[in-house]
Amino acid sequence: VAVVQQRPVASPAPVVPDFAELAARVSPAVVGVVSVLNPEGEAGRARRGVGSGMVVRADGQVLTNHHVIADAASFAIEYADGVRVAARLVHGDPRLDLALLAPESGGTERTVATLSERRPRTGEWVMAIGNPFGLGDTVTVGVISGLGRDHEDLGRPESLDPEGVWSFIQTDASINVGNSGGPLVDLRGEVLGLTTAVRSDGQGVAFAVPAAMARKFLQEVWAHGRFRHARLGLEVGELDDRPAVRVLKLAPAGPATAAGLRTGDLIVAANEVPVRRVSDLAYLGRVSGVGAPLALQVQRGETRLALQLVPDEAPLADDER
C-alpha cells in the first residue's frame, strides 16, 4: 500500500495595511488649530492652545472640536502646506463638542476630508492624524475598541458638557493633548470620527465623535447657520434588567405624544439601532434631526409596536431629550 506524504498547507501571510500610503493620502486635509487664550499669569503674556481639525470644504473651512476654541480670544488655522491664516467661528455647539471655522482669507483650494457614511465596526484598523503638543502631522494607529460610549464612560471630563449628546467611538490609537478635532480614519482614508478625549486614569482608552454626528452638524450649519437640536418630547430612564429605556414622562402635545407613546412603554430600538441607555436615544434623535421620522420599536406589555416619532426643534433654553 502506497503511503502518500501530506505536505502541511501554509497559512496565508498576514496582510499589514500600508499605513504610510494611507497617511500620505489623508494628511493634506488635516490642519492645526492654534488658539490665543485670554492672558493669564504674567502681564501681557497670553497662553496658546493647540488642537487639530480637518478641511471639510474646498474653500478651507475646518471642522474641529468646540473645546479646542472655546476659551480663545482669537485663533488661526495652519494648513498642511504650512500656511497659517487667521480664522473666525462659523458656528460652535458645546453639546456636540463640534465647531466649524472659516479662514479670514482664502484663495487656495484645499484637499477635503471624506466623512464616512457607514457604521464602524469594533476591532477594525484605524489611524489618527493630528497635532499633539504642537507636533504637526503626527500619525498613530490602533483599532476601534468600542462604540456608543457616553460622558460617564469617559470619566466625566470637565471639558465636555455633561448634558451633551454623546455616542463616542472608543479607540486604542494613541491620542494626546492637541489631537482634539483631528480625524480618526479607516483603511479607505474615510473619517470615522473626530478624536476628542482620553481617559485620564488609564492608557490606550481614547474617544472620538462619530462621523455621522459631524455630517449632521455640517448639514445643519450650512443650511440653517446653526445646529437645530431635535426635541423628542419625553423623559426616559434606564432599566437594570434589560437593554431598553422606559418612558417616564411625556410632554403634552409633544412629538412623543403625537407618535402614540405612553408612560411605561419600553423603547428598545430607534432606526434599527438598539437603545440601551438614555444617551443612545438622545444621540439617535439628534442624528435623525428636526422633522426627520425616527422609527421606534416599542414594547408595551406583551405587545411589540412600531411607532414613528417626528422630532420638532428644541427651544434654545430648554433642550429636552
Cell of 269: 430600538
What would the DSSP string read from start to end of 211-280?
A: HHHHHHHHHHHHHHSS---EE--EEEEE-SSSS-EEEEEE-TTSHHHHHT--TT-EEEEETTEE--SHHH
Mark whether 224 is an active-site residue. Answer: no
Backbone angles phi and psi of 150, in degrees to 5: -115, -170
Give the DSSP H/E element, type plus range, for residue 198. Answer: strand 191-198
Q: Which of 35, 52, 67, 288 is catalytic?
A: 67
- Which one, of 314, 310, 269, lies nearest residue 292 by Cα? 310
Degrees, nearest 5: CA angle 171-172-178:
85
The residue type of 8 is: P
Gyration radius of the chain over CA positions: 22
Q: Which of 52, 180, 279, 288 is catalytic?
A: 180
The residue type of 195 is: T
Q: Which of 93, 97, 150, 186 is catalytic?
A: 97
Mark whether 67 is an active-site residue. Answer: yes
- Which one, of 217, 211, 275, 279, lies nearest residue 242 by Cα? 275
Mark whether 280 is an active-site residue. Answer: no
Cell of 122: 469594533
Degrees, nearest 5: CA angle 287-200-50:
70
Instruction: Kindly list the catalytic residues.
Output: 67, 97, 180
